[in-house]
Every structure is written in C-alpha cells, then in structure tokens.
C-alpha cells in the first residue's frame, strides 16, 4: 500500500453504505460497477445495485402536464444492466456476510496506482468458522469489456469444503425518485432478458431495452486454483454457478471474469462475449493487475499532482483525477456523464460539464482522450442541427442541454434548452484544444464545422438594438436566474464563438481552401454570412454597470431584490429543493458561478478591476448549490489574490464526494467538480492559462503548502512545473519554441529546458 | 319560431358534427350535455360524447419529466359522467339513423327564448318506412338536476309498432390529446360504476371517481302517451329500457327524465335521485318547457341587447349571452369554466376569465349570479393562502391560475402560477361589483378579506428599487411573453388592489369597526401593514417609454426584436402550436391584449394620448391567438374612435364559436369571449363605465347600425339605454340619485326618469 494513493472507508454504517457504493465504483469509461458487496446487504438496507455501460441507453417518453411545441417527446436514460457482482461463500451451510457473525477486521480501499478495489476481511461465522477474505475488483483499463473479481479465501480454523455461488442476474431495475429533479423520475423497468445461455461452463445473459432495442450481454467464466465440482442453475432471468471446492487447508484463489458487450459497439455481442471472455480468462488476475498498473503508471506520469504538506488532500485530489479517467468514454459514441459511471443521477446524461469543467484536464493531460470527447460532439452535430430546426432556427445547430445520443433530453426548458451557452461552450473547448495542441488537422476535420454551426445560432437568436448585438431570452450557467436578456456569460462566450468562426474561416482559406469550399458548400455558408459573424462579434453587447463597476449578470439582475440570506436557515439549502423556481428567479441569488465563470474563461474581455469587483459582488450572492461553483470561485480567488478563499473553495471541491458535502454522492460522484479540482490547482494556484501564442503561469501557493508539482502537455511537449515558497521551476524535455509567461514576464525554451524564477 | 332567437345548423357534414356537439350543448350551470345525437353517429365518426357536472372533478396526478419544488402534485379535472342521451328508435327491425335511409328533411335549432334544443327530422328507412321525429332537449334552468328529452314520433306511411330503446351508460371516458396544451393529456378512465339499479321502472347508475371519491348518479324515468310494453336489460355498467309501443297511427309522445345528483351537493345522491325524478316526472314536457321559457323571459328582460340592422349578429350575440347563462355555476362551489359545460377543453377549470371577461355581464345584468361567482373565490381563500405558503410567501393568498376546488392545477408555471395578476383581477371584480351594486354588506362579509389577502402578495413579491415599488418575475395576461419584470398590467392592477385594500380598511373602520377588528385579528393585519399597502400603491412603478409615449408592456419588452410577421405563414397561427415558447418569448409579439387591457380596466391611470399610442403600438404586434383578445381591442377601438376597427373586432368575438374561427370549438365554446362580446357592445360601442361616484356613457354606433338597445342594473335600478344615429336615451324606472355622464357631461335622475341627448 502506497501512502496518498489509497481511498479507504471501513465503515459498515448503514448511512455510509449508499455513498460508498458510489465512491468505490470501478469503471473504465465503458463499464461501470457500483461498489456493492458481492454478498449483498441485509434485505432492509438501502442499496442501489448498479452496473452501467456508457452511452447504453433506453429511450423513454417524457410526460408533461401541459406540453408545448417542440418540448422533447422522449429522452434517453442510462440503463442499469445485468448484474455480475453476486458471489456468495458458504461454509458448512453458513453464508458469509459482514452483517452476521463477527467481523474481526474489515478494510476496504481503492488503490489508485494499481487500479484495484479491495475488501480485506477477517470473519468469524456464527458457528465459529474463521475465514480471511481478500476480494479484489478490476474494471480493466486495457480491455474495456472486462470486469473481474478475485477472491483469496483462507480457512483459518477449519478445513472443510467451501461452496462458492456465483451468479449473473438480469432481473434489474433503474432507480427513481419523483421528487428530486436531480434523479430520474418514472421508468424503472426498462431492460428485459432475451436469452440465458450456458456453454462450456461459461454463463451468458443477454438483455434488451424495450424501446431503443439496445442489447447488452454479460458473459462470465470462473477460474479456481483448487479441485472443485461445478454445477449450474438457470432461471428465466439468471444463471448461477455452484462451485464446491475440495476440503483442505489450501488458500483458495477464485476469479470471476465478466465480459460486457453491447449492440452499440459490437456486431455480434453474444458471440463476441463468449470469444472475448475465453481470450481474457487466459490471463491470471495477477497478470490483469499488472496491465492495469502499467496503464496507470503512464496516466499518473502526467496527471499526478503532488502537494507538499497535505496528505489527505493529496489523496482526495488523486481520487478526483482517477475518477475522471475511470469515467471518460474512450470511443467517440460516449462522453462523460454528470456522475460518470458511478450512479444514475442525471440519468447518465452528458452536459456542458464536459466542455467547461472536464475537458481542460484531458486536453492538457490526455489529449488523445480529449479528442474523443470533442469528436463525440461532432458525431451528434446532425442532431443539434435538427434541434435548431425544431426550435424554429433557420440555420445552425443547437446542442442539447442534456443528452446521450444527441436528442434534447431536458424537459424543463428554463434550465435546459434555454441554456444556449452550451453551443459556445463546445466551441470554446475546441478552441482550447487547438491552442493547447496546435492540432489543426483535427480542428479542420472535426471542429470547424461545429464552430460554424454553433456560431450561426447567435445570429438566429440575437438582434441589433441601439447599435449593439443583443441576445434575449436565454438562461446562463446560474440556474437560479432564468430566461433573461443579455446574460454576460452567454454574450461574451457567443462573441468568442463568432470570433473564432471568423478566424477559422480565414485560417482554412489560407491553409486548405479546398476543404473550406467543400464545407461551405455542404452547409451553405457564404463569405457574407461570415461577415455577419464578425459584425455580431464586434458589436456584442456586454452588460456593464457603471455604478458597481461590474459586468451585470444580465439586463435585469442588478435591479432585483437581494435574497434574504440572513433569514434562510441552513436546512433550506440547496434552495432548489425548498423554493419554487419563480421565487428563486425573483431574487439576486446564484446557484453557481456565472459572470465569475465568464471572467475565468475569457479573462481578457474585462479589466482586472472589473473582474475583482464582479467577484466581490457575486460571491456574496452565490449559494454554491451547484457542484460546478466552488472550483471557479477558487480559481478566481487565486487570480485576484484572495489566497485563503481560494484554498477554502478548493477544499470544498477536493473532498466534495469523499466527504459527501452535497449529501447526494449516493446518486453518483460529481464529475464536473472533479475536473474543477484539477483546474483549481493548475488554473488557480498555478495560474496557468493557454493563450493564443503563449502559456502563462501566475503561481500563488496557499500558505501551508510547501510545494506544488504538476505536469501537462502543450503542443506535444510535456511541461513540468514545480512551485515552492521561494521559486517556480518549469521544465521541458528539450529546447523548443514554446513561449511561457511567468507573472507577466515572457520566457523562452529556445535554448534551454528549464526556467527557474524566484518568487 | 321567433326570428333572431334561434341558432340553427342543419349540416350533417362530418367536419361540422364535433363543433356542433359543443354549439348545441344544453346546460344550466349544474349539468351540461353536449349536442350528441341520441342515436349516435356511425362508428368511424369523430365524436366527444359528453355530459358534465360543474365542479364535479377527479383528482389526477400531474406528471413531470423534471419536477421542481412546489410544482402541483395533482390537479382536478372535470369528469365525463354517466351518459343518459342514448335513445334508439326501431321500426320493424330498422334502427333510425340520419346516416342510413333517406333524410327528407332535417333541421336542428336551439331556441333561446324557449331554452330548448330541437331536432326535426323527416326520415325514410332503407325499407321505406317514413317517420317524422321531433326531438327536444331541456336542461332545466329551474330544476338544475333535470335533463329531459322528449320525442314526438309520427308514423307517416305505416302503423306497425315502434320500439324505443333508451339507456343510461356508465362506461364513459374523458377525452385527451397529448399534443394540444389546451386539451387534457392522459387520464381518460377516471370514473367507475358503483351501482346499477332498477326500481319501479326507474333506472339508476351511480359512479365514483377513483381518487377524489366524488359520486355522481343519473336516475331515469320514462313517460309515454301510448300503450306499451317495457322491459329492462342490465349490464355491469349500463341499463337499458326496451319499450315496445302498441301499433296504430297515434303520434307517440315520449319523455325521458334524467336526474343528476352528486355527492358534492347531496347528502344521499342515490336516494335523492329517485326522489327528485319521481317528483319532476309528474310534470309533462310541455309544463317543463313553460317553466323554462318563464325563466328566460326574466333573464332576457335585462340581458337582451337589440341591434337594429344586424340580424345574424343579433343572433350570435344572444347565443353568447345564452351560453353565459347556461354555463354559470348557480351555487358557490362552482364557477364558470373556460368552456362552460360544453366540452372538456381546459379540463373544466376556472381561470381569471371569470373575473375580467364574464363577471361584468353578470354584475350588471344578473347581480345575484355575480354574487355566487364572487363568493366562490371566498370559499377557496384558504386554498389560496396555502398556495401562497407553498410559494414561499409569508403572508397573503395566491389564487391558483386554474382550478376547480382551489388547488393550483397549472403544471406549466411560466403561463400559470407566474400570472400573479389573477389576485388583482379577483380584487378588481369585487370592487366593480361593489361600485355597481353598492352592496357593502356583501363586500364586508365576503370581499374585504379577499382584497386584504390578495393585496398582501404584492408586498411579498415586490420590492423598492430607486424609489419605486417594483414587481419582478411575473407573467402578464399576454402569454407570449413570460417571467418578466414590471408588467404594466400586473403593476397597475396591483396598485388598484392595494389602493382598495386601504380604502376598504378605512371604510370598514368607519362603518363596522367591530367586524374590522375581528377580521384584522383573524388574519393578523395591522394598521402598519395597511400603511405599507398605501405606500406600495403610491410608489407603484408603471413602465412608460418616453420615446414611444406608451406604457411599456414590461421592462424589457420594447427592446426585444419584433416578430417577423411578414414571413409567418397563416397556417403557423396560433403560434403556440408552431413555435417553442422560448422562441415566442424572445420577440415582441402578443397572444392577447395586455397593456391595452389594463388601459380598459383602469383608464384613469393613463392619458388618452398614451392609451391611443399604446393601442396603435401593441395592435400591430397582437396575434389574437387567445380568444380573450378581440373583445378588448374592440372596446378600446371604440374608446379611441376607431369605429370600423371596433366593429371588425367585435364581429370576431360575436361569431367566434358559431363560425368556429379558432378551429377548436369542438373542445367547447369560449366563455370569456362570450362575455367579451357583451362588453364590446356595452363598454365598447355604448362606452359604459362604472366609476366611483357615477356611471358614464360614450356611445358611438357602427355606421350600419340603426339602433342599439340594452339594459343593466345599477344600485338596484334597471337602466335602459337606447342609442341611434341621432340621439341617446337613458331611462330608469323612477327618479333616483344616480349620476350619469354622457359624453363627459353629467346628468341626474333626481327629478326625472328619462334623459335624452342629441348626438
């Protein structure tokens, strides 16, 4: 066990179990398995037993009391798939359970270097049989279909035989809660078993969703190091292997290889399931673990951040990055859902969280994975075009607020479809990727079309008024204010979207006119239309309050009454669960960073003074009821120099799930916040920014940190940064033409590989 | 048949039948029966076979894709009750149907003096039997439980026996359409048969709603003038009388007495049903008709409006007033639903339509009925208080946007709960009633508490900003603009609400301090709070645009882009069925009169110049997609002097249902518009206003009208007005202290009963 790389929680408290099911999920971006106990809990314990495949969805109808035009008829939701976790150990008629007999010791931990989740148990049965168990789980990062469970069983005070009962079960349901808008409502039975097969001691269940006809299979093979007698029992929805091991003192080593396939990725998911499990089960669990740790070694070589003087934090931080890796879709049909693959909160949907909170990490640490996430948006461009037409827009694409395969899945448009800014967020993330990687080939193939089509929407929904280009009736990031005019965030991001559409048009004209012509023909884009982009960008109205000297969140925000924070009891947060939206919309109160987020993403659009004033003004009004808030406040506090605040906000993000500060980790971990943690350090304390022709750093360490080290990739080079009280060191592998500003001064790596600056 | 008092439509066109089911509804404010054919249509014909009891509701859950705090969990909806319409005539094995054999003649008409709906048919069966039928229906205005059908059957060319099969049927469903927000979605099976009884040849079915446990019965007795042989057939949900009449040439006269009772009004609805039907069936159909025409004679003696030179219009106008009488709830637990009792559109809900569009007619023509409607609001005051608490308001009452028994039934809050103006509308209608009747006893008992509690809400949702009292995040009458700040209509009506709360407080202090003290104690109202009402009223912000010299609809309306009317094809209206709400909200486009309505209701709050400018500005932007719009534009066109426009808008209202200009009369007739028709004449062409200390008239006749005559009641006196090209005559029954302004000049009835002014 290596210090700082382990997440551990040995509680068997009923209140902690649900949360820990999320925390100890093991996932690989394709499959995700919640940290349920193989042997289950007692019947009356709350549990959400869940296994998921990224982007494997059911289509369900959306009910409305009063339905209006172009409200989405149906939506996609993630499916709780066939459960392969069940393993029960029977000793002399007694079943192993942590809730019976005596637990002499119990620890469970996630090892983030090994990529393995382990339970180690010393158990005495009610009749006195003593067992030592080590139960390990891997969701393979190399072979994405594989979820493997390994049992090491030691008989301490007996040598009778042990029976292992291992099953797969297709009788599963999704979790619902009608009263929490952050969890799914209705539709819990969405998957039906199609076949239950047994072939050469390999078990397989295939199930299908009712409407979307997505097929999923799990194919399971067992391996055991001791003599045994195996038999099987089948029902209509499950299949069970009953493995009687021979008596004797030998330590039993048992591995259950579960291979998931699905019809969105595999032509013959049933056949492929058998084939793949046969292949992969040739490897021992130890061999699989080796591959897993090799994979992670490479990941951590760039992703790891080390903080001197903060062990607990170090751990929390790594957990967040580990979860990001676990959750990220590794093909272009999947993305990162709001809860990763750790739970059903937000129904497995992809939001702007990916672009604004998560892509920065991947863009700078794993650009190959970032590329997939961006490509995903390209694959759903047609759906976004269709949605734009539905919304009455003649041109362009309107990206859905929440989706799996591209259709709008939000049934509450004031905090959904009205958030047009997602268009600009997607464009922004392409531009950031381009600036960080310089990968024009990718941008021209998969980015430019997206940026053109997203830009077009602003012309559709905006108009000129008193000489300015204005955008009415949108909702910004802050969901506690809805359907307003000239949201600063939306307008400034739209300006960026339009500006880059023009730039990329011109760049493509120079570099690949043929491709440009093809594209323009395909989407009927003319030079004249591009000129309208330029004009709208130039004339974009950015609300500014002369008296407060801040950018106004929107046209009317500053004239509203201020929320009565003083008389709002603590238990009334998050406000959305205690007040009607109208009541909330009526006041100056923010769920999350809005103008302050815009000032982070596009800091050059406002003066430092305005940014500081805005921060001071909005901070007092922000509840941080969204997990997307604290990271941004941390980053901006760092920028402004409020280093203690920056630290406090950062701490909120770093341990949000591990300490369940939002009280809903049971529904899954908060991916955007996890990306935000990384940003709080790299963009916050280190002050990194990717500018058009350089990168800049403005390091400011919290006072009790002795050192901060991190790396990132920039235009193909690995850049390693080390900051301590006295100095900042930046290293590259070899001399290169990278320009780096530290604290506003420009340095070059033309002739050197290391820059060292005294703070 | 009396000219101008008949509504007739002899079409058997499949397209007209559904509309005519609504048009020929017969109702009495308690029961309502759609104009379905007794013998039904062919199977593939569209029909909504419907019978309703006002305020008899089922409670159904409201589904949401994403539910937020204080969204109503359930709502009430009107119930399609047990059908008693079925009567089939069998001649020698051939069933009478207008869609078989030969229809030699067919006419159907509603006689509005007699209160009777009649079909007269000369029919030849496929085998050549000739029948003359006269089928008459009454929903008794005197005995509200009674729905009677009378058949006169003449055998023209045969004298064999005829069989009459008459049934009542409890196997009924509500009509639903998921894609039209103006019709109900989901929940069609909401009523189940509890008992089917036969006692002394009286048939009875009792049914109950599933959730609200409202019981409804129909008890049916037959009467026949010829020898006959009667037998019965019962099923689980229906009961059928098979009446074989003796052969011979006598004209058969057959009456079916159907008595409806329900558990909301009757302690023993089953027993009472039998009792009442026994009692009422002692009267012949002719006797019932006499009572009906007596009732109507009294009604028309005040309500009738006669227009010289416009026969068709005259008829349409009377139809509208007749429907108002048919639809109005005559106890205090029911009101007037948006479609009366003619269909299921808007689910039998009561809206602000009652106060602003319908009460003026009743207040001035049938003040006793007006009183019931106002009392209804008093009976649901507790629900409105509860709703205010749900919405987070510490004090006051928030009336539901749509309801039957008081709970908010709107599941789309931007065009529902956000329309806080309903509070002020209710207060306004109490004040108008008070000004018109002088009935302080009623106001102090049932009005003041409502006006205090509604006034309180403005202090809850408003706030001071730059010295003005402002109200944010509401929706005004125009549902094409939602959730905006300082809607002129809302603010000016709130000002009126607050002002009258103060006035009535002071008036009660003078006239009945004891009652005031009791009331203040009951609702914890202090003098200090009343002072806050006064201040808010005085400082109420009323948006005004200096450049356009109009009252702005709200703070941001005038800075939005103007809807592209030119490129909106006709078939895209109503816009709400062709554009997403967000798209509509983004533009300057109105569904219905908003500021212009405020200028009508509170004309003294703006100068005539502003009123004219507002009219000119908003008229161009108004689609009149709501049936609540044209009447207001007609009234205000009259006021401004646009007499041709006034006439054109008036014609839209007068024939809206008869000519089905909105294409949805099938779902029921448009009650608010019907009240609007009356207002277009009395408030429009005659220019009547009820002021604080006088009434005023400003008559302006459309050019092809030779004469206009109408009456109304004012402070207990009947005032008769006659306007023609040359002069205006106003008569009262006896000299009285009424002050009357005509064209701005004050006249008195101190010593005379008639005033005659040359125009």
Reported as a single tens digit per residue, the pLDDT across B277-290 is: 999 999 999 999 99
H or E element that contains A755: strand A754-758
Burial class (CB in 10 A: 0-12, 13-18, 19+), B287: exposed
Q: How far apart are CA A493 and CA A106, in angstroms?
A: 51
pLDDT at residue B434 above 70? yes
Give dist(CA A538, CA A130) in Å, integer. Answer: 76
Q: How far apart are the C-alpha atoms of A688 and A631, rounded to whole Å?
A: 14
Separation of alpha carbons A108 and A115, rounded Å: 14
The reply to whether B422 touches chain A by the CB within 8 Å rule is no
Q: Is B566 exposed, middle or buried, given 0-12, 13-18 or 19+ CB atoms closer than 10 A? A: exposed
Mean pLDDT on B168-178: 87
Report the candidate in B520, B336, B355 with the shortest Cα–Cα distance to residue B430.
B355
Contacts of A63 in chain B (CB under 8 A): 63-65, 186
> Residue B401 above 60 pLDDT?
yes
Residue A657, in any domain of the structure? no
Write down the pLDDT at residue B186.
67
ipTM of the complex: 0.93
Model pLDDT for residues B329-372, shown as the tens digit of each residue? 999 899 999 999 999 999 999 999 999 999 999 999 999 999 99
Taking residues A294-309, what's their average pLDDT?
95
The DSSP secondary structure of B414-442, one letter per residue, reads GGTTT-THHHHHHHHHHHHHHHHH--HHH
Minimum distance, in Å, between the CA of residue A400 and any CA atom of chain B:
14
A68–B581 C-beta distance less than 8 A: yes
CB contact under 8 A, B417 and A65: no
Please give the tally of structural domains in chain A.
2
Residue of chain B whose alpha carbon sits nearest to that of A579: B69
d(CA A458, CA A423): 9
In a domain, B374, yes or no: no
pLDDT at B14 over 90: no
In the prediction, which pLDDT does A1 show? Answer: 43
Cα distance between residue A306 and residue A4, in whole Å: 10
Decide: helix, strand or coil at residue A163.
Answer: strand
Q: Does B524 touch chain A (CB under 8 A)?
A: no
CATH number for the domain that contains residue A583: 1.50.10.10
A75 CB neighbours in chain B (<8 A) are 65
Enclosing domain of residue A241: 7-273
Are the C-beta atoms of A457 and A419 separated by less than 8 Å? no
Determine the pLDDT at residue B188: 81
The catalytic residue among A323, A408, A453, A479 is A479
CA-nearest of A162, A148, A160, A175 to A259 is A148
* Preceding peptide of A102 cis, ω within 30°: no
Chain A nearest-CA distance from B720, in A, is 45
Is the minimum CB–CB distance between B179 and chain A shorter than 8 Å?
Answer: yes
∠ CA A391-A393-A399 to the nearest 5 degrees? 65
Is A181 in contact with B66 (Cβ distance < 8 A)?
yes
Is B160 an annotated catalytic residue? no
Confidence category of residue A186, pLDDT binned at 50, 70, 90: low
Q: Do B185 and A410 touch (CB under 8 A)?
A: no
Option in A64, A472, A560 nearest B586 (CB): A472
**A581 chain-B contacts, CB cut-off 8 A:** 68-69, 413
Does a structural domain hold residue B481?
no
CB contact at 8 A, B476 and B554: yes
In a domain, residue A756? The reply is: no
Residue A3 has pLDDT above 80, yes or no: no
CA nearest A563: which of A509, A507, A621?
A621
Last residue of a domain, one of A216, A241, A273: A273
B-chain CB neighbours of A411 within 8 Å are 64-66
Catalytic residue among B58, B152, B479, B605: B479
| Interface check B61 vs A, CB under 8 A | no
Cβ neighbours around A94 below 10 Å, total: 16
**CATH number for the domain including B753?**
2.60.420.10
Q: Which of residues 502-521 of A touch B (CB under 8 A)?
A: none
Gap between the Cα atoms of B59 and A84, Å rounded: 43
Pairwise CA distance, residues A139 & A144, whole Å: 7
A414 has a chain B CB within 8 A of its CB = yes
**Given this model, what pLDDT does residue A2 score?**
53
B579 interaction partners in chain A (CB closer than 8 Å): 69-70, 392
Mean pLDDT of B98-103: 95
Whether residue B51 lies inside any domain: the answer is: yes
The string over A200-216, giving b where at least 16 C-beta atoms fall within 10 Å of a residue's C-beta and e elsewhere, is eebbbbbbbbeebebbb
A577 neighbourhood in chain B, CB within 8 Å: 69
Provide mean pLDDT across the span B644-654. Answer: 94
Of B67, B392, B555, the CB nearest to A178: B67
pLDDT confidence tier of residue B184, bands split at 50, 70 and 90: low
Rounded to 10 deg, the angle between the B421-437 and B488-511 helix axes is 50
User: Could you tell me if B470 lies within 8 Å of chain A, comparing CB atoms?
Assistant: yes
d(CA A118, CA A148): 12
Average pLDDT over chain B, rounded to an integer? 95
Q: Report CA Rg, chain B.
A: 27
For residue B560, the chain A residues in CB contact (below 8 A) are 463, 472-473, 485
- The answer, as to whether pTM is greater than 0.90, is yes
Is residue B607 classed exposed, middle or buried when 0-12, 13-18 and 19+ CB atoms within 10 A define those classes?
A: exposed
Task: Evaluate whether residue A668 is within a structural domain.
Answer: no
Report the percent of chain A where pLDDT is more than 70: 98
Separation in Å, CA A168 to CA A190, A203, A259, A302: 18, 8, 11, 38
The domain that holds A118 is classified in CATH as 2.70.98.40
Distance from CA of B572 to the nearest CA of A (A): 11
CB proximity B572 to A under 8 Å: no
Q: Residue B91 falls within a domain, yes or no?
A: yes
- Whole-number Cα distances in Å, A212 to A59, A75, A207, A463, B273: 5, 10, 12, 40, 53
Instruction: Test B64 with A411 for CB contact under 8 angstroms.
Output: yes
Determine if residue A240 is left, alpha or beta; phi over 0 gives left, psi from -120 to 50 gives alpha, anything else beta: beta
Residue A736 lies in a domain: no
B412 touches chain A (CB under 8 A): yes
pLDDT band at A19 (very low <50, low <70, confident <90, very high): very high
Nearest chain B CA: its distance from A414 CA (Å): 8
A and B: number of Cβ contacts within 8 A: 155
Whether residue B740 is predicted with pLDDT greater than 50 in this model: the reply is yes
Whole-number Å distance between alpha carbons of A521 and A508: 14
Q: Is residue B454 scored above 70 in pLDDT?
A: yes
pLDDT score of B187: 72
Q: List helix spans (H) across A581-665.
A: 581-585, 595-601, 608-619, 630-640, 643-654
Concatenated DSSP letters for A442-482? HIIIIIHHHHHHHHHHHHHHEEEETTEEEE-SB--S-TTS-
Residue B591 in this model has a pLDDT that exceeds 80: yes
* Residue of B289, B275, B283 lying closest to B202 (CA atoms): B275
> What's the mean pLDDT when you consider all of chain A?
95
């Amino acid at each position: 066990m290596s210090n700082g790389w382990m997440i551990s929680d040995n509680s068997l408290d009923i209140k902690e179990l649900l949360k820990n099911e999320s925390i100890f999920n093991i996932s690989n971006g394709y499959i995700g398995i919640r940290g349920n106990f193989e042997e289950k809990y007692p019947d009356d314990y709350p549990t959400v037993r869940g296994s998921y495949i990224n982007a494997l969805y059911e289509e369900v109808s959306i009910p409305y009391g009063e339905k209006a035009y172009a409200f989405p008829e149906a939506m996609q939701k993630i499916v709780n798939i066939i459960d392969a976790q069940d393993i029960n150990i029977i000793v002399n008629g007694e079943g192993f359970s942590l809730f019976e007999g005596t637990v002499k010791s119990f620890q469970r931990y996630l090892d983030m270097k090994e990529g393995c989740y382990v339970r180690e148990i010393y158990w005495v049965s009610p009749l006195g049989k003593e067992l030592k168990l080590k139960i390990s789980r891997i969701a393979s990062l190399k072979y994405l279909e594989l979820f493997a469970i390994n049992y090491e069983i030691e008989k301490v005070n007996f040598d009778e035989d042990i029976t292992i009962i291992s099953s797969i079960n297709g009788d599963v349901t999704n979790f619902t809660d009608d009263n929490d808008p952050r969890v799914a409502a209705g539709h819990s039975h969405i998957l039906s078993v199609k076949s239950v097969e047994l072939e050469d001691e390999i078990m397989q269940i295939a199930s299908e969703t009712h409407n979307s006809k997505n097929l999923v299979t799990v194919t399971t093979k067992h391996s055991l190091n001791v003599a045994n007698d195996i038999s099987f029992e089948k029902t209509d929805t499950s299949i069970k292997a009953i493995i009687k091991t021979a008596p004797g003192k030998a330590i039993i080593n048992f591995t259950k290889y579960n291979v998931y396939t699905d019809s969105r990725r595999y032509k013959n998911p049933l056949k492929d399931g058998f084939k793949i499990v046969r292949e992969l089960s040739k490897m021992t669990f130890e061999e699989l673990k080796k591959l897993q740790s090799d994979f992670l070694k490479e990941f951590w070589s760039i992703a790891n951040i080390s903080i001197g003087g903060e062990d607990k934090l170090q751990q929390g931080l790594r957990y967040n990055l580990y979860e990001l890796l676990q959750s990220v879709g590794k093909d272009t049909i999947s993305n990162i859902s709001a809860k990763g693959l750790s739970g059903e909160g937000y129904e497995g949907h992809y939001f702007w969280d990916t672009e604004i909170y998560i892509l920065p990490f991947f863009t700078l640490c794993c650009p190959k994975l970032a590329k997939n996430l961006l490509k995903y948006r390209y694959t759903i461009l047609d759906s976004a075009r269709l949605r734009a037409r539905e919304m009455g827009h003649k041109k362009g694409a309107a990206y859905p607020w929440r989706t799996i395969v591209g259709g709008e899945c939000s049934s509450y448009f004031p905090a959904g479809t009205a958030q047009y800014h997602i268009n600009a967020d997607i464009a922004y993330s392409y531009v950031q990727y381009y600036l960080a990687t310089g990968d024009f080939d990718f941008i021209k193939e998969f980015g430019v079309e997206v940026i053109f089509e997203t830009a077009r929407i602003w012309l559709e929904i905006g108009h000129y008024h008193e000489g300015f280009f204005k955008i009415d009736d949108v909702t910004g990031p802050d969901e506690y204010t809805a359907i307003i005019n000239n949201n600063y965030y939306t307008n400034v991001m739209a300006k960026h979207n339009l500006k880059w559409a023009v730039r990329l048009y011109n760049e493509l004209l120079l570099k690949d006119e043929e491709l440009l012509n093809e594209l323009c023909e395909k989407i009927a884009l003319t030079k004249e239309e591009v000129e309208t982009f330029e004009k709208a960008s130039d004339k974009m109205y950015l609300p500014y309050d002369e008296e407060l000297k801040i950018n106004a969140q929107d046209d009317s925000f500053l004239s509203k009454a201020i929320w009565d924070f003083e008389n709002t009891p603590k238990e009334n947060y998050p406000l959305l669960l205690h007040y009607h939206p109208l009541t909330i919309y009526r006041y100056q109160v923010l769920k999350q960073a809005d103008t302050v987020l815009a000032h982070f993403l596009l800091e050059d659009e406002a003066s430092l003074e305005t940014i500081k004033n805005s921060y001071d003004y909005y901070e007092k009004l922000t509840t941080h009821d969204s997990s997307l808030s604290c990271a941004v406040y941390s980053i901006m506090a760092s920028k402004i120099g409020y280093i203690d605040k920056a630290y406090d906000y950062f701490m909120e993000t770093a341990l949000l799930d591990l300490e369940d500060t939002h009280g809903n980790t049971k529904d899954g971990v908060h991916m955007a916040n996890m990306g935000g943690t990384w940003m709080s350090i790299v963009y916050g304390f280190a002050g990194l920014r990717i500018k058009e022709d350089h990168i800049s750093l403005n390091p400011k360490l919290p006072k009790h940190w002795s050192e901060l080290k991190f790396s990132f990739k920039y235009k193909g080079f690995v850049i390693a940064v080390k900051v301590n009280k006295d100095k900042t060191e930046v290293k590259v592998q070899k001399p290169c033409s990278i320009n780096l500003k530290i604290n506003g001064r420009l340095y070059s790596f033309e002739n050197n590989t290391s820059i060292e600056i005294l703070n």
